[in-house]
Amino acid sequence: MSKIYKVLFEKKYAKDLKHIHPSYHKAIMEITFSLGENPRPDGYIKLIGLNNLFRIRIGPYRIIYTVEDDRLIVLVLEIGDRKDVYKKY
């Protein structure tokens, strides 16, 4: 039996999504919710030098998230344009 992770979102997820072009909303939501079944899907990248931070690319946007394997939690931290999303990290 495969493990199912609980997907949690930072409070600003809805606010971040408002700044994304509407044509990407469906793809972003599908990918973020599918992280519960597979927190390391094809195309994910571990961010260098940062513990347990990963990113997934969707067109010009990036989803930044962390995985807690011991607690079976995926926490979506931020969604944004690739030129802006990495500035905090």
Q: Which one-letter DSSP state was computed for residue 51?
A: T
pTM for this entry: 0.89
Beta strands per DSSP E along 1-88: 6-9, 45-46, 53-58, 61-68, 73-81
pLDDT attached to residue 8: 96
pLDDT surpassing 60 at residue 1:
no
pLDDT attached to residue 79: 94
Class of domain 6-85: alpha beta
Q: Pairing between strand 6-9 and 45-46? A: unpaired
Q: What percent of the chain has pLDDT over 90?
A: 72
Break the chain into its structural domains and give their ranges.
6-85
pLDDT attached to residue 16: 87
Could you tell me the pLDDT band of residue 2, with boundaries at 50, 70 and 90?
confident
